[in-house]
Structure 1
Amino acid sequence: MLYLLSILSLFSSNPTPTVSPNKSSLTIEVQNVRAMKGTVYVALFGPGKDFPEGKPVDGKKVDADNAQVRVTFSVEPGEYAIAIYHDENSNGKMDMRLFGIPKEPYGFSNNFRPKLSAPKFSDCQFSVDNGGKTIHIKLN
């Protein structure tokens, strides 16, 4: 999980994409942003063995200036999963407690809450069709 969160810190913010005819709009609404400071990192993963430790399909970052922040991706219809963390102190990494337990808020699509290990793609998987999709993820 530490590797995933480190990768998320590499993303740069992009303007809201325009959706091409073959792509759909995927909007992620991140809820429960407690500290109005720092940056929220959002990573988009496609199916495969990369989730959540590998390289995402796309990633964005947004200033944490509201209790709810939103990012939009332009994606091909298909199956995806999302991993998020809130870098509250803007140090560019996910701060951890003893035994690798995250100190800063994080979340996954389907609001999946891992118990003892990182989630599997199937735990966080959702579909995007031609009509687009909006999903809500609550940070813990």
Structure 2
Amino acid sequence: MRVDVSGVRGDHGFIIGTLCKEGEAFPSGCTRTARAKAADGVVSLDFKGLAQGDYALALYHDENDNSRLELGAEGIGFSNNANLAKAAPQFDASRIKVNGATRIRVRIRYSI
């Protein structure tokens, strides 16, 4: 599956994506990850070898390259562009179907 991440600000750090299959604790218990160097505009992440099924994606822009989300300071996004209100969205709000060559687009959002 290819994920095109739009709205990336700047080229510092990395875009980190985590992908959960249905039944895994979303977003903290995802077992699949992908990472790409940040670039202003659009960055692509690739998840290979996925079985068909339902998944949910969470991603963030690790601008300071410390492998941790600095909530409020770094950008974050979810499949289906589900909103981050007071907590991460539930799996169902971010559910996507993977069936063969799947490509999705996620807009990363920054609070500041």
TM-score when normalising by structure 1:
0.72
RMSD: 1.3
Match status 1:60 vs 2:34: yes
Larger radius of gyration: 1
Q: CA deviation at 1:49?
A: 4.8
Cα distance in 2 between the residues matched to 1:37 and 1:128: 30
Gaps of at least 5 residues in structure 2 are none
TM-score when normalising by structure 2:
0.89
Q: CA deviation at 1:52?
A: 0.9
Cα distance in 2 between the residues matched to 1:71 and 1:93: 18
Deviations 1:99-137 (A, max 9, x none): xxx32100000001121222110010010113x210000
Cα contact 1:48–1:121 (8 A) shared by 2: no
Dislocated runs of 4+, deviation >4 Å: none
Name the structure where strand makes up a greater proportion of residues. 2
Aligned to 2:25: 50
Query: Equivalent of 2:84, from 114, 120, 123?
Result: 114
Query: Equivalent of 1:104, from 44, 68, 74?
Result: 74
Tell me the percent identity: 31
Cα distance in 2 between the residues matched to 1:115 and 1:71: 24
- How many matched pairs? 108
Match status 1:37 vs 2:12: yes
Name the structure where helix makes up a greater proportion of residues. 1
Gaps of at least 5 residues in structure 1 are 1-25, 97-101
Aligned to 2:54: 79
